[in-house]
Structure 1
Amino acid sequence: MKIAINDLLEYIQKSNNATIDLLVENKANLPQKAIEIYSHMINAHHVWNARILGKKPFFKVWQTHSVEVFAEMNEENYLISKKILDNNELDKMISYQNTKGEAYQNTIKDIMFHIINHSSYHRGQVMMLVRNAGLEPIPTDYILTKR
């Protein structure tokens, strides 16, 4: 299972990088909502990594960033997630509080799957906003990274 999660993390890393390139190239014509959603996606990944590590996140879930910092943030998230996978069992239970202060527990496996799914969901939203702005979206489907 670790191999599968690692594979999926590599997929979102590649897809996120391609999306970031698109956003940087078209930053003058992007709707603000696309930047906000992409910021949220990167922040959420950061927050989940922090929860697993028992640390306080540096970024807030809906904090907005400039497109110029997306690549650095994405790389840091990826490297931290990889390190988490290398140093922990997937069935390890993580206790954390959500943004409302409510206590929950989930396994690292479930959290990692959520990070991956959340990323795909929001990349899709960003591509729709890119298309609606008259720009050409890029495909970021999993199968395309496997061809």
Structure 2
Amino acid sequence: MITIEDWFSYHKWGTQKQLAHLKTLPEEVYTKEIQSVFPSIKEVFDHVYVVDYLWLERIKGTERPEAPATSLRTVEEASAAFKELHLQYDQVLAEIDPVTIRSFFTMKGIPMTNSVEEMVYTVVNHGSYHRGNVTAMHRQLGYSGVVYDYIYYLNEKRS
């Protein structure tokens, strides 16, 4: 059985693996403007960070969390910010029952009621989706990506 901690561990792994890959590319790749889903890879990471933050606040019980102003200017800054945020997730997830129900409002004001488990799955799925965006952006810029599939995470974790 996969626990929410296991599932979230995959999200952390994918985020840090992608940022580590970006560190091997020329520095300007992170901020280079291109015609894509987002104007730059940096903008994708800013977006994912804000969404991860908002879901953590909802998981903690905040009904109307405020989106933080975020600009992760460098890959190193992004890596550090995500490590800190994900450490907070680890602490909260270790102390909460996954079936705990939270009521909250989306950023558009839509009321929702979901379990912590459902919210964590949403965070992980959202991160995976955007890792795909970044991989496509790498290719647009002439660089290869790295595989982030769950099965690769499991194999790496077991070795």
Is it true that 1:45 corresponds to 2:52 in the alignment?
yes
Which range is displaced more, 51-60 or 115-124? 51-60
Equivalent runs, 1:80-91 vs 2, <5 Å:
80-91=88-99
Answering whether residue 35 of structure 2 is matched by residue 36 of structure 1, we say: no
User: What pairs up with 1:1-147 in 2 under 5 angstroms?
Assistant: 4-26=3-25, 27-30=27-30, 31-32=32-33, 33-55=40-62, 56-57=65-66, 59=68, 63-66=70-73, 67-147=75-155
Note the residue ranges of structure 2 that are not aligned, 5 or more in a row.
34-39
Q: Could you tell me how far 1:77 is from its partner in structure 2?
A: 2.4
Residues 1:48 and 1:73: Cα distance change in structure 2 (over 3 Å): same
Report the CA distance between 1:57 and its aligned residue. Answer: 4.1
Q: TM-score if structure 1 supplies the norm length?
A: 0.86
Contact 1:41 1:122 in 2 (8 A): yes
Unaligned runs of 5+ in 1: none
Larger mean CA deviation between 22-31 and 36-45 belongs to 22-31
**Cα deviation digits, residues 25-47 of structure 1 (max 9, x gap):** 33313434221112211211111
Shift of 1:22: 2.1
The residue matched to 1:104 in structure 2 has which SS? strand
Pairwise CA RMSD of aligned residues?
Answer: 1.9
The alignment covers a number of residue pairs equal to 144
Q: What amino acid is the match of 2:127? A: S
How much does 1:69 deviate?
1.7
Q: Please identify runs of 4+ aligned residues in structure 1 that moved more than 4 A.
A: none
Report the more deviating stretch, 6-15 or 129-138: 6-15
Higher helix fraction: Structure 1 or Structure 2? Answer: 1
Partner SS state of residue 68, structure 1: helix
Assess if the C-alpha contact under 8 Å between 1:38 and 1:123 holds in 2: no
Q: Quick check: 2:29–2:41 contact (8 Å CA) kept in 1? A: no
